[in-house]
Structure 1
Amino acid sequence: MTKWWMVRAGDNNELIPEWQANKIASIGWPQLGDPRKFASREKFVEHAHSVYVDQKPGTRLSWAGQVWRYYNEVALNDRVITYSRETREYLLGTVTKAPEYRTDINALYPNVISVAWESKRIPRDLFSQRAKYSLGSTLTVFRIDDWQEEILALFHQTPAAPVNVTVQDEEAAEFNTEEFEGRAKSLIEDRVDKLDPWEMQELVAGLLQAMGYQTKVSPKGPDGGVDVLAHRDAFGFEKPIIKVQVKHRRATSGGPEVQQLVGASPHGASCLFVSTGGFTAAARTAAQHNGVKLLDLAGIVELINEWYDKMPAEKQALIPLKRIYVPM
């Protein structure tokens, strides 16, 4: 039976160009060495406990379990998907060679399978809410057999039948706070995504207010390249002064837009460019050369998690959230 797998492309999806160029998918934990040298899963887990002594026992078990099943369950002709946070799209591929331990491509991600990647991608927004919730797991490797019909339907643009979800990962059988947090972040991303461009500017202003800044949001209409101005004092004299451009859209923001923010008034202010659609390579290069801070959708969610309680009530109302407590 063909199995379906989600494999995360690094902590920040930075491995996707490398994967496409080399027709592979790879996972990390190089400190564990080659799993094939261990006679059993129990021995491999025992090894993980000795290697990652600074990590929680549950974390060690999860990491070792993912690497072990990667080698012992992923097979020829299995299907693989991964997520590009940069473009907010899923990539689909087929396994063409079983897992092997290789350090020649990337020593930090030595556990490699060969994959024939499809050129077509599937936008995340097309998936059902339940699928987005499930695929948003923070595990590096996990089974997604329940979603194969929806994935193929979207890939071929045909209606998908309703899905009955079952738990297939032994790691998912126990409550995992990291998993819970990851799925919560995915839901917050969806709430932020539904804001209109003007609400998005207000949200960014609210985050800056939570950090102790006074803010001024540009009115609707031409803004001269600056959507939000932030400063420490009520008059706007005290530095640092931050000028912010906010692009709330599916498309990535490019280098010329970053340059426009740098050249906008007030000159000499620090620059923050917010783009929920992500950034092109040229934009990142321009930002690095000009000292511009870039913030994508995932970064916004991180800031919301950190600063939400200190945001003004009217800004919290843009994305109502409720704090809950979970066992550790």
Structure 2
Amino acid sequence: MWMIRAGRGSENIEDFVRHGIVALGDKLLGAVPPTIKKEALLELYAEKYPDEKEGSRASWAGQLLRFIGEIKLGDEVVTFDRERRKYLLGKVTSEYYWDDKLIEDLPAVRRVEWTHEVSRDLLSTKTRNTLGAIQTLFKLSADAEKDLRAHAVPFGASVPAPKPVPKQKLEAEQEEQAALLAETFERADEFIEDAINALDWRQMQELVAGLLRAMGYRTTVAEGGPDRGVDIFASPDGLGLQEPRIFVEVKHRGQVMGAKEIRAFLGGRKRGDKCLYVSTGGFSKDAHYEADRADVATTLISLPALRKLVVDHYESLDAETRALVPLRRLYWPVGKK
């Protein structure tokens, strides 16, 4: 069973139903022959979208190739009607063909006989999560298929209202949602760290300086050139006449920093100075020991700690700093107490 979305937000669901089809693709490609090979399709996407990332073009090509070649006559398909909160189930009744008149923006077409529908409210949390995957086209798991079939009614029939959920089942679903939320946050943290780690050394310095400004300090970022041991200086007035005076070293995508590097950085610092050492490569145990016993207040910031600072202070960052790591707020439903 294949999930094939009816455009963003199910905007093409009426066309899917009226014409008895599923569709995707891109009219700019022109009529793509059913015998096209992967290399030729990638070249076509590169020609039409030269400014897009190679990975994006590869993803688009992969989905179109699956639609053309992997889906077979008689395969089951499912699509989502978001407005009515129901999934439509059907069977593929034609090979792939190109038709830019049915849905202009989705010219790769297969005929479908719609046979059943399923209320989203009847499905398990696990199935709803699977069906909510971001891809336009993907193959469903056996469990998701089983859940859909178990709650399917003939297409056009009245969909039964969901029955009250027993307390034990409701608690189990709430636990599953909590686990899914924790997994989502974990993945988000990892992707944010990926985005930070992809910055070059100059951008990394600007990110750290932007964080300090968001905390109320004025900053000076060192010019490029030989490393003097201090990449950023910060203080309330920006001149160092007011306390605290903060000295920052930034090491990006290098080796793990050890005690030797910490001692070198702290050399020449005075009591009352505050020191930050940022290393996206992390710190050794000895480095932490060296920082803890130093006469000068020293904080070591690894990539996970830097990611947390970015998230915690994101709303206060200036536009230039936000542009280095663009983030979007995510809202998630929470259970009522």
Provide TM-score, normalisation by structure 1.
0.46
Provide TM-score, normalisation by structure 2.
0.45
Pick 1 or 2: higher relative contact order, CA cutoff 8 A, min separation 6: 1
Larger radius of gyration: 2
